[in-house]
Homo-oligomer: A and B are copies of this chain.
Amino acid sequence: MAKELKFGVIGAGYMGKAYSIALNTVSAVFPLSAKPVLDVLATTSATGAEDKAEAFGFRRATGSWQELAADPDIDVVGICSPTYLHKEMALAAIAAGKHVLCEKPLALSAREAHEMANAAERAGVKTLVGYNYIKNPATQLAKQMIANGEIGEIVHFRGTHNEDFLMDPALPMSWRLKAAYGSQAGALGDLASHIINLAHYLCGPIAEVVGESQTIHRQRPGKDGQLEVVENDDQTNFLVKFESGVLGPIEASRIAAGRKMGLTYEVVGTKGTLSFDQERLAELQFYSADDSPSRCGFRTILIGPEHPDYGHFCIGAGHGFGYNDMITVEMKEMVEGIAAGQPLWPSFRDAVHTALVVDAVLLSQREKRWVAIQELEQELNQ
């Protein structure tokens, strides 16, 4: 493992910490084609950076993300900042020839995402977007089973991403709730993007959508206690029609009382069904019509060493798989994508599709109609 891959990470909050945990552990978990090194951590203020860098295991710290992005020693930049900063940071890193791992959603709009993907492609750098839930062995298994034809031809997809972290109307205003910083798309941009990406992963591209999003708690207290206007949605509901013709509903909410990680999907095929709930992330429910009629039923497959990636973490099935383990898989893929030329999914280009679907839902609501993704895609290319 002679070769090193030096990582610079921007952001030391929730996701910055998760990236650090994963980078510290990935070499012990997986055999890798290169050794990831925690080189530089950038935060918004130089003072905090030193402490965080030491705690997280980075060699160096900086209060300037621009410095990090331009640092000639760095091979890969990880972006864990608020969404409105993604584009500027990614373009700077790409301009300096870095590979980029960027948190989701990739950008404030499909147009921004498209610009980022173009830049990366022109520069020939590798990109990956942090839609971590598809790295779960259970969901990788679902994809394999679909590809194998184990549920026949897909006829229906239902997906949700429901949480309740904003159900209390007394919770304060934050950047996530402002159109210019979070996005015009609230639960739609922040949460539905996960399940749209997952739908894309399992069932292919989406062709058209119709739907509506709603802001239930329209005002929240700002820093001075004054009520401020929430500028994006608390929940969204839409129907999607995939290019394959498959139809189904998608919903997302940040006020769904009781749901803490309610990323769920159900894929129905002509020969069986797969059903999943991220709150029980180590299980995949599988119904096969090949079972005898009097012995059939949904079976709970506990993920184990026979399934993708799991065995590197633990040799016993059903022993548990955690949130940070998914990020560790992401890091493994990033390393192998760069050092061994393995394909990376979703790249910035792949994530443009998710952004287009989000934009299409916004347009569908404004014009109260079905919107084809192609409509918006064509605009991008003009």
A-B contact pairs, 8 of them (CB 8 A): A24-B25, A210-B210, A214-B245, A237-B239, A239-B249, A260-B302, A293-B306, A314-B322
Within 8 A of B (CB), among A276-291: 278-283, 286-287, 289, 291
User: 7 other contacts beyond A260-B317, A261-B319, A280-B283, with CB at 8 A cut-off?
Assistant: A21-B313, A150-B295, A156-B237, A237-B248, A294-B304, A324-B325, A369-B370
Chain A to chain B: the 3 pairs with minimum beta-carbon distance, closest first: A322-B322, A258-B287, A260-B318
This chain's copy number in the assembly: 4
**A163-B316 contact, Cβ under 8 Å, with A28-B17, A237-B247:** yes
The residue in chain B whose Cβ has the minimal distance to the Cβ of A317 is B260
A127 at the interface (CB under 8 A from B): no
A138 CA / B154 CA spacing, docked (Å)? 31
| Pairwise interchain contact A286-B295, C-beta atoms closer than 8 A | yes
| A55, A238, A253, A283 — most chain B CB neighbours (10 Å) | A55
Among candidates B253, B294, B316, residue contacting A260 with C-beta atoms closer than 8 Å: B316
A114 to B294: give the CA distance in the assembly, Å: 39
Set B21, B324, B370: member contacting A368, Cβ < 8 A: B370
Chain B residues with CB under 8 A of A297:
258, 283, 286, 299-302
A interface residue numbers (CB < 8 A to B): 1, 14, 17-18, 20-21, 24-25, 27-29, 31, 54-57, 150-151, 155-156, 158, 163, 165, 167-169, 210-212, 214, 216, 234-235, 237-239, 241, 245, 247-249, 251, 253, 255-261, 268-273, 278-283, 286-287, 289, 291, 293-302, 304, 306-307, 313-326, 368-370
> Given contacts A25-B25, A237-B249, A302-B297, is CB(A322)–CB(B313) below 8 Å?
yes
Closest to A22 in B: B25
A323 touches B313 (CB 8 A): yes
In the complex, which of the residues A256, A272, A296 has the most CB atoms of chain B within 10 Å of its own CB atom? A296
Instruction: Give Cα A282–Cα B304 distance, bound, in whole angstroms.
Output: 17
- Residue among A14, A237, A248 facing the most chain B CB atoms (10 A cut-off): A237
Kindly state the separation between the CA atoms of A268 and B235 in the bound complex, as whole angstroms: 11
Q: Which residues of B contact A301 (CB under 8 A)?
A: 294-297
A323 contact from B155, B241, B261, B319, Cβ within 8 A: B319
Chain B positions within 8 Å of A31 at CB level: 55
Name the distance in Å between A264's Cβ and chain B's nearest Cβ: 11
Q: Which residues of B contact A318 (CB under 8 A)?
A: 260-261, 279
Distance between A255 CB and nearest chain B CB, rounded to angstroms: 7
A57 (CB) vs chain B CBs: closest residue: B28
